[in-house]
Chain A
Amino acid sequence: MMRVELRAVTKAFGRQCLFDDVNFGAVAGEVVAVCGKSGSGKSTLLRTINRIESVDAGDIRIDGESVLHGSIDLANLRSRVGMVLQSAPLFSHLSAVENIAMPLRRVRGLSRREAVERAEDALDEVGLAQRAVALPHTLSGGERQRVAVARSMALEPSVLLLDEPTSALDWHLRDEVGALIRSVADKGVTVFMVTHDCDFADRVADRVAVLSRAALHEVSRCDCSGAALLRRVRDLICCDAPRPAALAPRVSL
């Protein structure tokens, strides 16, 4: 059974149609990447899954249950569907361990001691046990990303949504985050990420899709991989973008 299922999902902002009739799904333990150029609507698509954004038409199901019912408990849904927003915002007044412990206390109802213990375990799993008391502004980009993933994972979600997990990270930190995503999926969590980093998507995801011209095109690994897959993704992304003029050389030799 599909863990996450999007059926004929449609969304527009005014006259601008972001995506139309999107059908997509992912099973447990699968990493799915949606690529697309900036402003294509991929982050909005991701936010519809945990109802941060509404949809105009269609249905979204988690474990077969529609999340669009008016009666659904949003807090419960969002604790089952973890999300790491772009730039991994942490609560800047709380230390790394408190960032993880606070939602555990407020959403899961754990005592302060239990929450801190579980938060320390979550930090340990992402290799940041020694940074537990550090405030967010003292953490590097990669560390912040890992704390944000640990914060979502501590709530034991069945689905993890990642919005541009590698934006503003260098190649070394990108590899760290990529390994972390794979380890999360190995625990049976469905990871749904959006990124404009096609190379990263190719290396980390089981399946890659491209959001272009309001439609979602799946680029299956069975058809192609490596350079061929990247070429196809780029073709789809660039098909509606004007080709930039060649840059003139800055230095004549």
Chain B
Amino acid sequence: MTLHYDFDWSILAQAQYVHWLAAGLGWTLLIGVLAMVGSLLVGALLATLQALPGIVGATGRAWGQMARNIPCLFWLLLFYAGVPALFGSNGIPWDLSLLQFGFACAVGALLIDNTTYVADALLDGIRAVSRDERQAALACGLSERQTVVECVLPQAVRFAMPALLNRSVHVIKNTALCMAIGVPEMMWAAQQIESITFRGIEATLVVSGIYLTLGWGLASLTRRIGGTRGAQEAFR
């Protein structure tokens, strides 16, 4: 069996394409980091709501189910097409440029898509802290609040770290969906290069390599800074 394709990697060395890929990497990282940080904050809020009784807890759980079961692409298209429709004929609200608006929609959609998983990871982390250790903290004379701050949360965050890292890799990968609304991230850059040069395989392979490096790098970083048994065992 012979390969009927001649790879030409030199085409990717052209300044224009290097610039697109580098800028795409920047957008991918910016969207990924903002969506992850935002979903940590909103996920912590959602975890708190879900733990509460009554109508508040039920609302939190309903929100969680909605965010979990609806595809990320839906949220992207809803924000990108739905928000301008709501704001009338002018289209884009808040005097944003088309690029700024697409960027805001991308961060918002990825944030919502990721929130439930972050909330689940945080709740699992809290549940993983041994009941005996909480009782030991109380038996030492620590108040309920001190027990949570000094004993439960530091361990819960470490227990949740592998799952949160997993989610951050997913968020980085899901940024590729943002090309659907014209955000010039890495996948968009690869498609642009493909449409001009017909060298889509080379461009896509380079972008895949960058995604792989980012995911691998995140795992190594967490192993280094986490320094916990849970995180180390998860990636051993």
Which residues from chain A sit less than 8 Å from chain B, CB to CB? 50, 52, 75-79, 82-83, 85-87, 89-93, 102-103, 106-107, 137, 148, 151-152, 155
Contact = CB atoms under 8 A, between A and B. Distances in A.
B135 A76 contact: no
B155 interface: yes
A79 B154 CA distance: 23
Contacts of A76: 141
Contact of B150 (A78, A90, A106): A106
A103 B140 contact: yes
A146 B154 CA distance: 24
Given A89-B130, A93-B155, A102-B150, A52 B140 contact: no
B6 interface: no
Contacts of A152: 139-140
Interface of B is mostly: helix
B140 A151 contact: yes
A75 B141 contact: yes
Top 3 A-B pairs, shortest CB-CB distance: A79-B141, A89-B132, A83-B139
B136 A107 contact: no
Contacts of A50: 139
A137 B130 CA distance: 14
B143 interface: yes
By size class, the interface of chain B is 20 to 34
Nearest to A83: B139
B223 interface: no
Given A75-B143, A76-B141, A137-B229, A91 B136 contact: yes
15 contacts: A50-B139, A75-B143, A78-B138, A79-B140, A85-B135, A85-B139, A87-B132, A91-B150, A92-B133, A93-B228, A102-B150, A103-B141, A137-B229, A151-B140, A152-B139
Given A52-B138, A86-B132, A87-B132, 4 more contacts: A52-B135, A75-B143, A89-B133, A92-B155
Contacts of B229: 137
B142 A107 contact: yes
A155 B140 CA distance: 8
Given A102-B150, A137-B229, A91 B133 contact: yes
Which one of A52, A89, A148 has the highest number of Cβ atoms from chain B below 10 Å of its Cβ?
A89
Given A85-B132, A89-B132, A155 B141 contact: yes
Contacts of A82: 139-140
A93 B228 CA distance: 8
B151 A75 contact: no
A78 B133 contact: no
Given A89-B133, A93-B158, A102-B150, A107 B138 contact: no
B59 interface: no
A29 B11 CA distance: 86
Interface in B142-176: 142-143, 146, 150-151, 154-155, 158
A76 B142 CA distance: 9
A92 B133 CA distance: 8
Interface in B101-150: 130, 132-133, 135-143, 146, 150
A198 B58 CA distance: 51
B225 to A, nearest CB: 14
Given A91-B133, A92-B155, A93-B158, A106 B142 contact: yes
A111 to B, nearest CB: 16
A77 B141 CA distance: 7
B192 to A, nearest CB: 48
Nearest to A108: B141
A183 B106 CA distance: 66
Contacts of A79: 140-141
A61 to B, nearest CB: 19
B155 A78 contact: no
